[in-house]
Structure 1
Amino acid sequence: MRRMRRIVRELLAGAALVPRGFGFWRRRPGAMALGMLPAVIAGTLIAVVLIALGLNVEALAQAVTPFADGWAERDRSVLRTLLALVIVAGAIIGTVYTFTTLTLLIGDPFYERIWRAAEKELGGFTPTPVRFWRSFGDGLVLVLRAMGYALITWLVGLIPGVGSVASAVLGPVLAGHLIARELTTRPFEARGITAAERARLLRGSRARELGFGIATQLFFLVPGGAIAVMPAAVVGATSLARSVLERAAAEVEAAPRPTPPA
Protein backbone atom coordinates (compact mmCIF):
# COMPACT_ATOMS: atom_id res chain seq x y z
CA MET A 1 0.00 0.00 0.00
CA ARG A 2 2.80 2.39 0.88
CA ARG A 3 4.55 1.55 -2.39
CA MET A 4 1.33 2.24 -4.34
CA ARG A 5 0.94 5.63 -2.64
CA ARG A 6 4.54 6.44 -3.52
CA ILE A 7 3.97 5.51 -7.18
CA VAL A 8 0.83 7.66 -7.37
CA ARG A 9 2.69 10.54 -5.70
CA GLU A 10 5.48 10.25 -8.26
CA LEU A 11 3.03 10.08 -11.18
CA LEU A 12 1.32 13.25 -9.98
CA ALA A 13 4.66 14.99 -9.40
CA GLY A 14 5.68 14.22 -12.97
CA ALA A 15 2.32 15.34 -14.36
CA ALA A 16 2.56 18.63 -12.43
CA LEU A 17 5.71 19.56 -14.37
CA VAL A 18 3.65 20.12 -17.53
CA PRO A 19 1.27 22.86 -16.26
CA ARG A 20 4.22 24.35 -14.39
CA GLY A 21 5.98 24.69 -17.74
CA PHE A 22 3.14 26.90 -19.00
CA GLY A 23 4.26 29.50 -16.47
CA PHE A 24 7.29 30.10 -18.69
CA TRP A 25 4.97 31.93 -21.15
CA ARG A 26 4.97 34.92 -18.81
CA ARG A 27 8.75 35.11 -18.67
CA ARG A 28 9.82 34.12 -22.22
CA PRO A 29 6.78 34.58 -24.49
CA GLY A 30 8.87 34.99 -27.66
CA ALA A 31 10.75 31.72 -27.30
CA MET A 32 7.60 29.86 -26.27
CA ALA A 33 5.62 31.20 -29.25
CA LEU A 34 8.34 30.02 -31.64
CA GLY A 35 8.23 26.64 -29.90
CA MET A 36 4.66 26.16 -31.14
CA LEU A 37 5.74 26.26 -34.80
CA PRO A 38 7.11 22.67 -35.05
CA ALA A 39 3.81 21.20 -33.83
CA VAL A 40 1.89 23.30 -36.36
CA ILE A 41 4.11 22.05 -39.20
CA ALA A 42 3.96 18.42 -38.03
CA GLY A 43 0.18 18.57 -37.56
CA THR A 44 -0.34 20.03 -41.02
CA LEU A 45 1.80 17.35 -42.69
CA ILE A 46 0.00 14.55 -40.86
CA ALA A 47 -3.44 16.00 -41.68
CA VAL A 48 -2.56 16.07 -45.40
CA VAL A 49 -1.40 12.45 -45.29
CA LEU A 50 -4.52 11.29 -43.41
CA ILE A 51 -6.86 13.09 -45.80
CA ALA A 52 -5.07 11.53 -48.78
CA LEU A 53 -5.27 8.11 -47.14
CA GLY A 54 -8.97 8.50 -46.38
CA LEU A 55 -9.71 9.42 -49.98
CA ASN A 56 -7.77 6.46 -51.36
CA VAL A 57 -8.17 3.74 -48.72
CA GLU A 58 -10.66 1.75 -50.82
CA ALA A 59 -8.33 1.76 -53.82
CA LEU A 60 -5.45 0.75 -51.54
CA ALA A 61 -7.45 -2.16 -50.13
CA GLN A 62 -8.20 -3.32 -53.65
CA ALA A 63 -4.57 -2.98 -54.72
CA VAL A 64 -3.30 -5.28 -51.96
CA THR A 65 -6.01 -7.93 -52.48
CA PRO A 66 -5.89 -8.78 -56.19
CA PHE A 67 -6.40 -12.45 -55.26
CA ALA A 68 -9.98 -11.59 -54.22
CA ASP A 69 -11.04 -10.32 -57.66
CA GLY A 70 -12.56 -13.69 -58.51
CA TRP A 71 -14.46 -14.05 -55.22
CA ALA A 72 -18.17 -13.56 -54.78
CA GLU A 73 -19.02 -9.87 -54.53
CA ARG A 74 -20.19 -10.14 -50.91
CA ASP A 75 -17.04 -11.94 -49.73
CA ARG A 76 -14.79 -9.56 -51.66
CA SER A 77 -16.58 -6.53 -50.20
CA VAL A 78 -16.34 -7.85 -46.61
CA LEU A 79 -12.62 -8.57 -46.95
CA ARG A 80 -11.74 -5.20 -48.43
CA THR A 81 -13.92 -3.30 -45.97
CA LEU A 82 -12.22 -5.03 -43.04
CA LEU A 83 -8.80 -4.37 -44.57
CA ALA A 84 -9.68 -0.70 -45.08
CA LEU A 85 -10.70 -0.44 -41.41
CA VAL A 86 -7.43 -2.07 -40.31
CA ILE A 87 -5.44 0.37 -42.49
CA VAL A 88 -7.32 3.37 -41.08
CA ALA A 89 -6.90 2.10 -37.50
CA GLY A 90 -3.19 1.61 -38.08
CA ALA A 91 -2.90 5.10 -39.53
CA ILE A 92 -4.69 6.64 -36.55
CA ILE A 93 -2.43 4.79 -34.11
CA GLY A 94 0.58 5.80 -36.17
CA THR A 95 -0.34 9.48 -35.97
CA VAL A 96 0.21 9.43 -32.20
CA TYR A 97 3.84 8.48 -32.68
CA THR A 98 4.34 10.23 -36.00
CA PHE A 99 3.21 13.55 -34.58
CA THR A 100 5.50 13.22 -31.56
CA THR A 101 8.47 12.14 -33.67
CA LEU A 102 8.01 14.78 -36.38
CA THR A 103 7.50 17.53 -33.83
CA LEU A 104 10.66 16.60 -31.94
CA LEU A 105 12.74 16.33 -35.11
CA ILE A 106 11.47 19.59 -36.62
CA GLY A 107 11.55 21.42 -33.32
CA ASP A 108 15.13 20.66 -32.30
CA PRO A 109 16.53 24.20 -32.86
CA PHE A 110 13.38 25.85 -31.47
CA TYR A 111 13.34 23.70 -28.35
CA GLU A 112 17.04 24.24 -27.73
CA ARG A 113 16.37 27.94 -27.26
CA ILE A 114 13.63 27.19 -24.72
CA TRP A 115 15.81 24.64 -22.94
CA ARG A 116 18.70 27.10 -22.59
CA ALA A 117 16.37 29.73 -21.17
CA ALA A 118 14.93 27.21 -18.69
CA GLU A 119 18.39 26.07 -17.58
CA LYS A 120 19.47 29.67 -17.10
CA GLU A 121 16.41 30.47 -15.00
CA LEU A 122 16.78 27.36 -12.83
CA GLY A 123 20.48 28.16 -12.35
CA GLY A 124 23.41 26.05 -11.24
CA PHE A 125 24.35 24.88 -14.73
CA THR A 126 25.72 26.57 -17.84
CA PRO A 127 24.39 24.86 -21.01
CA THR A 128 26.95 23.71 -23.58
CA PRO A 129 26.25 22.99 -27.26
CA VAL A 130 25.18 19.44 -28.18
CA ARG A 131 27.26 18.01 -31.03
CA PHE A 132 25.41 17.75 -34.36
CA TRP A 133 26.23 14.11 -35.10
CA ARG A 134 25.14 13.00 -31.66
CA SER A 135 21.85 14.86 -32.15
CA PHE A 136 21.50 13.35 -35.63
CA GLY A 137 22.07 9.85 -34.27
CA ASP A 138 19.50 10.40 -31.53
CA GLY A 139 17.04 11.46 -34.24
CA LEU A 140 17.48 8.17 -36.08
CA VAL A 141 17.02 6.19 -32.86
CA LEU A 142 13.88 8.23 -32.13
CA VAL A 143 12.38 7.31 -35.51
CA LEU A 144 13.14 3.60 -35.06
CA ARG A 145 11.78 3.57 -31.53
CA ALA A 146 8.58 5.36 -32.59
CA MET A 147 8.05 2.84 -35.40
CA GLY A 148 8.49 -0.03 -32.96
CA TYR A 149 6.05 1.44 -30.45
CA ALA A 150 3.48 2.10 -33.20
CA LEU A 151 3.76 -1.51 -34.40
CA ILE A 152 3.32 -2.88 -30.86
CA THR A 153 0.26 -0.69 -30.24
CA TRP A 154 -1.28 -1.67 -33.59
CA LEU A 155 -0.74 -5.39 -32.96
CA VAL A 156 -2.26 -5.12 -29.47
CA GLY A 157 -5.27 -3.39 -31.03
CA LEU A 158 -5.90 -6.48 -33.18
CA ILE A 159 -6.47 -8.71 -30.14
CA PRO A 160 -10.15 -9.75 -30.22
CA GLY A 161 -12.35 -8.33 -27.48
CA VAL A 162 -9.84 -6.34 -25.42
CA GLY A 163 -7.56 -5.04 -28.16
CA SER A 164 -9.19 -1.66 -28.68
CA VAL A 165 -9.23 -0.82 -24.97
CA ALA A 166 -5.71 -2.15 -24.40
CA SER A 167 -4.27 -0.19 -27.31
CA ALA A 168 -6.10 2.96 -26.16
CA VAL A 169 -4.27 2.67 -22.82
CA LEU A 170 -0.96 1.41 -24.16
CA GLY A 171 -0.68 4.11 -26.85
CA PRO A 172 -0.50 7.14 -24.51
CA VAL A 173 1.79 5.25 -22.11
CA LEU A 174 4.33 4.34 -24.79
CA ALA A 175 4.04 7.73 -26.50
CA GLY A 176 4.44 9.42 -23.10
CA HIS A 177 7.56 7.39 -22.38
CA LEU A 178 8.90 8.32 -25.84
CA ILE A 179 8.38 12.05 -25.43
CA ALA A 180 9.71 12.13 -21.86
CA ARG A 181 12.81 10.21 -22.87
CA GLU A 182 13.51 12.39 -25.90
CA LEU A 183 12.81 15.77 -24.27
CA THR A 184 15.19 14.94 -21.42
CA THR A 185 17.95 13.96 -23.86
CA ARG A 186 19.34 17.47 -24.25
CA PRO A 187 19.66 18.34 -20.54
CA PHE A 188 21.32 14.97 -19.92
CA GLU A 189 23.67 15.14 -22.92
CA ALA A 190 24.74 18.67 -22.05
CA ARG A 191 25.96 17.26 -18.75
CA GLY A 192 27.98 14.56 -20.50
CA ILE A 193 25.60 11.73 -19.58
CA THR A 194 25.62 8.84 -22.06
CA ALA A 195 22.55 7.12 -23.50
CA ALA A 196 23.04 4.07 -21.25
CA GLU A 197 23.33 6.29 -18.17
CA ARG A 198 20.22 8.25 -19.23
CA ALA A 199 18.22 5.04 -19.49
CA ARG A 200 19.41 3.93 -16.05
CA LEU A 201 18.58 7.29 -14.46
CA LEU A 202 15.08 7.35 -15.95
CA ARG A 203 14.41 3.78 -14.80
CA GLY A 204 15.09 4.98 -11.26
CA SER A 205 12.31 7.57 -11.65
CA ARG A 206 9.98 5.64 -13.98
CA ALA A 207 6.71 6.74 -12.35
CA ARG A 208 7.66 10.41 -12.47
CA GLU A 209 8.82 10.07 -16.08
CA LEU A 210 5.55 8.40 -17.11
CA GLY A 211 3.48 10.95 -15.20
CA PHE A 212 5.15 13.73 -17.15
CA GLY A 213 4.90 11.95 -20.51
CA ILE A 214 1.29 10.81 -20.14
CA ALA A 215 0.19 14.28 -19.00
CA THR A 216 1.83 15.73 -22.11
CA GLN A 217 0.03 13.20 -24.30
CA LEU A 218 -3.33 13.94 -22.66
CA PHE A 219 -3.00 17.56 -23.78
CA PHE A 220 -2.94 16.19 -27.32
CA LEU A 221 -6.60 15.18 -26.86
CA VAL A 222 -7.63 18.82 -26.41
CA PRO A 223 -8.17 20.69 -29.70
CA GLY A 224 -5.03 22.74 -30.24
CA GLY A 225 -3.51 21.30 -27.09
CA ALA A 226 -0.69 19.54 -28.91
CA ILE A 227 0.51 22.83 -30.34
CA ALA A 228 0.35 24.69 -27.03
CA VAL A 229 1.83 21.98 -24.82
CA MET A 230 5.12 21.26 -26.59
CA PRO A 231 6.99 24.42 -25.48
CA ALA A 232 5.74 23.89 -21.92
CA ALA A 233 6.80 20.24 -22.10
CA VAL A 234 10.37 21.29 -22.97
CA VAL A 235 10.48 23.40 -19.81
CA GLY A 236 8.92 20.58 -17.80
CA ALA A 237 11.41 18.05 -19.19
CA THR A 238 14.29 20.26 -18.08
CA SER A 239 12.93 20.22 -14.54
CA LEU A 240 12.31 16.47 -14.83
CA ALA A 241 15.93 15.80 -15.80
CA ARG A 242 17.15 17.88 -12.85
CA SER A 243 14.86 16.07 -10.40
CA VAL A 244 16.04 12.70 -11.70
CA LEU A 245 19.68 13.72 -11.20
CA GLU A 246 18.94 15.08 -7.73
CA ARG A 247 17.26 11.80 -6.75
CA ALA A 248 20.18 9.75 -8.06
CA ALA A 249 22.65 11.93 -6.14
CA ALA A 250 20.57 11.62 -2.95
CA GLU A 251 20.45 7.84 -3.29
CA VAL A 252 24.21 7.67 -3.71
CA GLU A 253 24.64 9.90 -0.67
CA ALA A 254 22.26 7.76 1.43
CA ALA A 255 23.85 4.46 0.39
CA PRO A 256 25.77 2.76 3.19
CA ARG A 257 29.52 3.18 2.94
CA PRO A 258 31.62 0.01 2.92
CA THR A 259 33.45 -0.56 6.17
CA PRO A 260 37.20 -0.15 5.64
CA PRO A 261 39.28 -3.20 6.55
CA ALA A 262 40.81 -3.17 10.01
Structure 2
Amino acid sequence: MDDAHAPRTSRARDLFAGAGYLLRGLGWTARHPAQWLFGLIPALIVLAVYAAALTGLAWKIDELADWTTPFADGWSESARTSVRVVAGLALYGAALFLAVVTFTAVTLLVGDPFYEAIAVRVEESQGGAPPEPDVPLLVRIGRAVKDTVILGVVALLFAVVFFACGFLPVVGQTVVPVVAALVSGYFLAGELTSVALERRGLRRRERFALLKRNRPLAVGFGAATFVMFLIPLGAVLAMPGAVAGGTLLARERLAPREPVTHGEIGVAGHH
Protein backbone atom coordinates (compact mmCIF):
# COMPACT_ATOMS: atom_id res chain seq x y z
CA MET A 1 0.00 0.00 0.00
CA ASP A 2 2.88 2.33 0.73
CA ASP A 3 4.29 1.71 -2.76
CA ALA A 4 0.93 2.46 -4.34
CA HIS A 5 0.70 5.79 -2.55
CA ALA A 6 4.34 6.74 -3.14
CA PRO A 7 3.92 8.27 -6.62
CA ARG A 8 0.89 10.28 -5.47
CA THR A 9 2.78 11.48 -2.41
CA SER A 10 5.74 12.41 -4.58
CA ARG A 11 3.52 14.42 -6.94
CA ALA A 12 1.93 16.28 -4.04
CA ARG A 13 5.37 17.00 -2.60
CA ASP A 14 6.55 18.35 -5.95
CA LEU A 15 3.46 20.57 -6.24
CA PHE A 16 4.29 22.24 -2.93
CA ALA A 17 7.99 22.33 -3.79
CA GLY A 18 7.14 24.12 -7.04
CA ALA A 19 5.08 26.71 -5.17
CA GLY A 20 8.01 27.08 -2.79
CA TYR A 21 10.22 28.27 -5.64
CA LEU A 22 7.97 31.30 -6.08
CA LEU A 23 8.39 32.12 -2.41
CA ARG A 24 12.15 31.69 -2.71
CA GLY A 25 12.20 33.99 -5.74
CA LEU A 26 10.18 36.64 -3.92
CA GLY A 27 12.54 36.28 -0.97
CA TRP A 28 15.54 36.77 -3.25
CA THR A 29 14.15 40.02 -4.66
CA ALA A 30 13.28 41.19 -1.14
CA ARG A 31 16.97 40.81 -0.28
CA HIS A 32 17.97 42.61 -3.50
CA PRO A 33 15.59 45.60 -3.71
CA ALA A 34 17.57 47.29 -6.49
CA GLN A 35 17.02 44.23 -8.72
CA TRP A 36 13.32 44.21 -7.82
CA LEU A 37 12.91 47.87 -8.81
CA PHE A 38 14.89 47.22 -11.99
CA GLY A 39 12.51 44.41 -12.94
CA LEU A 40 9.39 46.52 -12.39
CA ILE A 41 10.05 48.78 -15.37
CA PRO A 42 8.99 46.47 -18.26
CA ALA A 43 6.16 44.97 -16.17
CA LEU A 44 4.68 48.43 -15.58
CA ILE A 45 4.81 49.25 -19.29
CA VAL A 46 3.02 46.04 -20.30
CA LEU A 47 0.55 46.37 -17.43
CA ALA A 48 -0.59 49.79 -18.70
CA VAL A 49 -1.41 48.29 -22.11
CA TYR A 50 -3.18 45.23 -20.67
CA ALA A 51 -5.14 47.28 -18.14
CA ALA A 52 -6.43 49.53 -20.91
CA ALA A 53 -7.49 46.49 -22.96
CA LEU A 54 -9.26 44.76 -20.05
CA THR A 55 -10.97 48.01 -19.04
CA GLY A 56 -12.24 48.44 -22.58
CA LEU A 57 -13.48 44.85 -22.58
CA ALA A 58 -15.32 45.39 -19.28
CA TRP A 59 -16.94 48.51 -20.76
CA LYS A 60 -18.24 46.54 -23.74
CA ILE A 61 -18.92 43.22 -21.98
CA ASP A 62 -22.72 43.55 -22.15
CA GLU A 63 -22.66 44.13 -25.89
CA LEU A 64 -20.26 41.22 -26.42
CA ALA A 65 -22.40 38.94 -24.25
CA ASP A 66 -25.42 39.84 -26.40
CA TRP A 67 -23.42 39.21 -29.58
CA THR A 68 -22.22 35.76 -28.46
CA THR A 69 -25.72 34.59 -27.44
CA PRO A 70 -28.03 35.38 -30.38
CA PHE A 71 -29.89 32.13 -29.67
CA ALA A 72 -31.33 33.72 -26.51
CA ASP A 73 -33.02 36.64 -28.28
CA GLY A 74 -36.44 34.96 -28.23
CA TRP A 75 -36.22 33.71 -24.64
CA SER A 76 -38.02 35.19 -21.67
CA GLU A 77 -36.34 38.20 -20.08
CA SER A 78 -35.17 36.32 -16.98
CA ALA A 79 -33.74 33.40 -18.98
CA ARG A 80 -32.09 35.76 -21.48
CA THR A 81 -30.54 37.84 -18.71
CA SER A 82 -29.25 34.75 -16.89
CA VAL A 83 -27.55 33.24 -19.93
CA ARG A 84 -26.00 36.56 -20.88
CA VAL A 85 -24.64 37.12 -17.37
CA VAL A 86 -23.01 33.68 -17.61
CA ALA A 87 -21.73 34.55 -21.11
CA GLY A 88 -20.26 37.80 -19.83
CA LEU A 89 -18.53 36.07 -16.94
CA ALA A 90 -17.20 33.31 -19.18
CA LEU A 91 -16.00 35.80 -21.78
CA TYR A 92 -14.22 38.01 -19.27
CA GLY A 93 -12.79 34.96 -17.48
CA ALA A 94 -11.40 33.65 -20.76
CA ALA A 95 -9.91 37.09 -21.51
CA LEU A 96 -8.37 37.21 -18.04
CA PHE A 97 -6.87 33.74 -18.55
CA LEU A 98 -5.44 34.86 -21.89
CA ALA A 99 -4.10 38.07 -20.33
CA VAL A 100 -2.37 36.31 -17.43
CA VAL A 101 -0.74 33.72 -19.68
CA THR A 102 0.44 36.17 -22.34
CA PHE A 103 1.36 38.94 -19.88
CA THR A 104 4.44 37.03 -18.76
CA ALA A 105 5.52 36.19 -22.31
CA VAL A 106 5.07 39.76 -23.52
CA THR A 107 6.76 41.23 -20.45
CA LEU A 108 9.73 38.88 -20.84
CA LEU A 109 9.93 39.86 -24.51
CA VAL A 110 9.79 43.60 -23.80
CA GLY A 111 12.06 43.35 -20.78
CA ASP A 112 14.52 40.71 -22.00
CA PRO A 113 17.67 42.67 -20.99
CA PHE A 114 16.16 43.41 -17.56
CA TYR A 115 15.19 39.84 -16.72
CA GLU A 116 18.31 38.34 -18.27
CA ALA A 117 20.33 40.52 -15.88
CA ILE A 118 18.19 39.44 -12.90
CA ALA A 119 18.52 35.76 -13.84
CA VAL A 120 22.30 36.09 -14.07
CA ARG A 121 22.45 37.76 -10.65
CA VAL A 122 20.34 34.95 -9.17
CA GLU A 123 22.64 32.31 -10.68
CA GLU A 124 25.73 34.13 -9.49
CA SER A 125 24.32 34.24 -5.98
CA GLN A 126 23.94 30.44 -6.15
CA GLY A 127 27.43 29.65 -7.38
CA GLY A 128 27.77 31.03 -10.89
CA ALA A 129 25.88 31.48 -14.14
CA PRO A 130 26.57 29.45 -17.29
CA PRO A 131 28.14 31.38 -20.17
CA GLU A 132 25.80 33.20 -22.52
CA PRO A 133 25.05 31.18 -25.69
CA ASP A 134 26.91 32.33 -28.79
CA VAL A 135 23.71 33.39 -30.57
CA PRO A 136 23.36 36.75 -32.38
CA LEU A 137 21.02 39.23 -30.71
CA LEU A 138 18.69 39.46 -33.70
CA VAL A 139 18.33 35.66 -33.76
CA ARG A 140 17.46 35.63 -30.06
CA ILE A 141 14.88 38.39 -30.56
CA GLY A 142 13.36 36.52 -33.50
CA ARG A 143 13.08 33.33 -31.45
CA ALA A 144 11.51 35.23 -28.57
CA VAL A 145 8.91 36.82 -30.85
CA LYS A 146 8.13 33.45 -32.44
CA ASP A 147 7.75 31.78 -29.05
CA THR A 148 5.48 34.59 -27.84
CA VAL A 149 3.24 34.31 -30.90
CA ILE A 150 3.00 30.52 -30.57
CA LEU A 151 2.18 30.79 -26.88
CA GLY A 152 -0.45 33.43 -27.65
CA VAL A 153 -2.14 31.20 -30.23
CA VAL A 154 -2.16 28.19 -27.86
CA ALA A 155 -3.45 30.35 -25.01
CA LEU A 156 -6.19 31.72 -27.28
CA LEU A 157 -7.33 28.20 -28.15
CA PHE A 158 -7.50 27.28 -24.47
CA ALA A 159 -9.35 30.53 -23.73
CA VAL A 160 -12.00 29.63 -26.34
CA VAL A 161 -12.41 26.18 -24.76
CA PHE A 162 -12.73 27.64 -21.26
CA PHE A 163 -15.21 30.22 -22.53
CA ALA A 164 -17.39 27.47 -24.00
CA CYS A 165 -17.09 25.34 -20.85
CA GLY A 166 -18.12 28.34 -18.77
CA PHE A 167 -21.71 27.77 -19.91
CA LEU A 168 -21.84 24.36 -18.21
CA PRO A 169 -24.02 24.54 -15.08
CA VAL A 170 -22.02 24.46 -11.82
CA VAL A 171 -18.95 22.93 -13.51
CA GLY A 172 -18.38 26.10 -15.53
CA GLN A 173 -18.23 28.20 -12.36
CA THR A 174 -16.25 25.76 -10.16
CA VAL A 175 -14.14 23.18 -11.99
CA VAL A 176 -13.33 25.24 -15.09
CA PRO A 177 -11.62 28.12 -13.20
CA VAL A 178 -9.45 25.61 -11.32
CA VAL A 179 -8.45 23.84 -14.54
CA ALA A 180 -7.76 27.21 -16.15
CA ALA A 181 -5.45 28.12 -13.26
CA LEU A 182 -3.54 24.84 -13.58
CA VAL A 183 -3.19 25.10 -17.36
CA SER A 184 -2.12 28.73 -17.24
CA GLY A 185 0.28 27.86 -14.43
CA TYR A 186 1.97 25.27 -16.62
CA PHE A 187 2.49 27.80 -19.39
CA LEU A 188 3.65 30.46 -16.91
CA ALA A 189 6.27 28.04 -15.61
CA GLY A 190 7.47 27.54 -19.17
CA GLU A 191 7.88 31.26 -19.67
CA LEU A 192 9.46 32.04 -16.31
CA THR A 193 12.06 29.28 -16.60
CA SER A 194 12.84 30.16 -20.23
CA VAL A 195 15.49 32.76 -19.39
CA ALA A 196 17.65 30.30 -17.43
CA LEU A 197 17.02 27.37 -19.77
CA GLU A 198 17.70 29.37 -22.94
CA ARG A 199 21.02 30.37 -21.42
CA ARG A 200 21.76 26.64 -21.30
CA GLY A 201 21.03 26.32 -25.00
CA LEU A 202 17.55 24.83 -24.74
CA ARG A 203 14.90 25.82 -27.29
CA ARG A 204 11.13 25.94 -26.74
CA ARG A 205 10.41 22.28 -27.55
CA GLU A 206 13.23 21.10 -25.30
CA ARG A 207 12.16 23.37 -22.46
CA PHE A 208 8.60 22.11 -22.51
CA ALA A 209 9.84 18.52 -22.73
CA LEU A 210 11.63 19.13 -19.42
CA LEU A 211 8.51 20.70 -17.93
CA LYS A 212 6.41 17.73 -19.06
CA ARG A 213 8.77 15.35 -17.28
CA ASN A 214 8.53 17.52 -14.15
CA ARG A 215 4.88 18.52 -14.49
CA PRO A 216 3.93 18.65 -10.76
CA LEU A 217 6.87 20.98 -10.06
CA ALA A 218 5.97 23.17 -13.03
CA VAL A 219 2.26 23.29 -12.20
CA GLY A 220 2.93 24.01 -8.52
CA PHE A 221 5.25 26.90 -9.36
CA GLY A 222 3.07 28.24 -12.17
CA ALA A 223 -0.28 27.92 -10.39
CA ALA A 224 1.09 29.76 -7.36
CA THR A 225 2.34 32.48 -9.72
CA PHE A 226 -1.05 32.59 -11.47
CA VAL A 227 -2.83 33.18 -8.16
CA MET A 228 -0.29 35.87 -7.24
CA PHE A 229 -0.82 37.56 -10.61
CA LEU A 230 -4.59 37.71 -10.02
CA ILE A 231 -4.05 40.00 -7.03
CA PRO A 232 -4.34 43.65 -8.08
CA LEU A 233 -0.86 44.79 -9.19
CA GLY A 234 0.44 41.34 -8.25
CA ALA A 235 1.61 40.65 -11.80
CA VAL A 236 3.83 43.74 -11.69
CA LEU A 237 5.10 43.56 -8.13
CA ALA A 238 5.78 39.81 -8.25
CA MET A 239 7.23 39.63 -11.77
CA PRO A 240 10.91 40.09 -10.76
CA GLY A 241 10.48 37.54 -7.97
CA ALA A 242 8.74 35.12 -10.33
CA VAL A 243 11.68 35.36 -12.74
CA ALA A 244 14.07 34.75 -9.84
CA GLY A 245 12.00 31.76 -8.70
CA GLY A 246 11.88 30.37 -12.24
CA THR A 247 15.65 30.70 -12.46
CA LEU A 248 16.12 28.78 -9.21
CA LEU A 249 13.68 26.11 -10.37
CA ALA A 250 15.44 25.72 -13.70
CA ARG A 251 18.88 25.64 -12.10
CA GLU A 252 18.11 23.17 -9.32
CA ARG A 253 15.45 20.85 -10.73
CA LEU A 254 15.10 21.22 -14.50
CA ALA A 255 18.48 21.99 -16.05
CA PRO A 256 20.31 18.94 -17.47
CA ARG A 257 23.54 18.00 -15.77
CA GLU A 258 25.33 17.76 -19.09
CA PRO A 259 25.01 20.00 -22.13
CA VAL A 260 22.07 18.88 -24.22
CA THR A 261 21.98 18.77 -27.99
CA HIS A 262 18.83 18.69 -30.09
CA GLY A 263 17.19 15.28 -29.94
CA GLU A 264 18.78 14.23 -26.63
CA ILE A 265 16.30 15.94 -24.36
CA GLY A 266 14.23 12.80 -23.87
CA VAL A 267 17.02 11.04 -21.98
CA ALA A 268 18.73 13.94 -20.25
CA GLY A 269 18.81 13.87 -16.48
CA HIS A 270 18.05 16.70 -14.11
CA HIS A 271 19.18 17.88 -10.71
TM-score, reference length from structure 1 = 0.81
Q: 1:49-70 CA deviation, whole Å, 9 max, x = no partner?
A: 333333333444556778988x
Partner of 1:33: 37
Q: Structure 2: which amino acid aligns with 1:111? A: Y
Pairwise CA RMSD? 3.0
Partner of 1:105: 106
For 1:1-262, list aligned pairs within 5 A. Answer: 1-61=5-65, 75=76, 78-79=79-80, 82-83=83-84, 85-107=86-108, 108-109=111-112, 110-128=114-132, 131-245=140-254
Tell me how far apart the structure 2 counterparts of residues 245 and 212 of structure 1 sit (CA, whole Å).
12
Tell me how far apart the structure 2 counterparts of residues 151 and 4 of structure 1 sit (CA, whole Å).
31
The gaps in structure 1 that reach 5 residues or longer are 255-262
| Number of equivalent positions | 250
Larger Rg: 1
Q: 1:218-241 CA deviation, whole Å, 9 max, x = no partner?
A: 213434332222111101111111
Q: 1:106 to 1:26 in 2, by over 3 A?
A: closer
Pairwise CA distance, 1:136: 1.5
Q: Structure 1: which amino acid aligns with 2:23? A: P
Q: Matched residue of 2:202: which SS?
A: coil
Segment of structure 1 superposing worse, 9-18 or 195-204? 195-204
Q: Structure 1: which amino acid aligns with 2:80? A: L
Q: 1:24-75 CA deviation, whole Å, 9 max, x = no partner?
A: 2244322211322344344433333333333333444556778988x5xx74
Pairwise CA distance, 1:195: 2.6
The gaps in structure 2 that reach 5 residues or longer are 259-266
Tell me how far apart the structure 1 counterparts of residues 269 and 78 of structure 2 sit (CA, whole Å).
67
Q: Structure 2: which amino acid aligns with 1:19? A: L
Q: 1:66-88 CA deviation, whole Å, 9 max, x = no partner?
A: 8988x5xx747853663354134
TM-score, reference length from structure 2 = 0.78
Segment of structure 1 superposing worse, 209-218 or 143-152? 143-152
Q: Structure 1: which amino acid aligns with 2:32? A: R
| Aligned residues with identical type, % of pairs | 33
Q: 1:154-213 CA deviation, whole Å, 9 max, x = no partner?
A: 222222232211112111101111110111122222211233322221122111111111
Q: 1:12 to 1:75 in 2, by over 3 A?
A: same
Contact in 2 for aligned 1:15/1:213 (Cα 8 Å): yes
Pairwise CA distance, 1:3: 1.3
Tell me how far apart the structure 1 counterparts of residues 149 and 21 of structure 2 sit (CA, whole Å).
27
Q: 1:50 to 1:133 in 2, by over 3 A?
A: closer
Q: 1:122 to 1:171 in 2, by over 3 A?
A: same
Q: Structure 2: which amino acid aligns with 1:141? A: I
Tell me how far apart the structure 2 counterparts of residues 155 and 68 of structure 1 sit (CA, whole Å).
15
Tell me how far apart the structure 2 counterparts of residues 4 and 143 of structure 1 sit (CA, whole Å).
32
Q: 1:178 to 1:65 in 2, by over 3 A?
A: closer
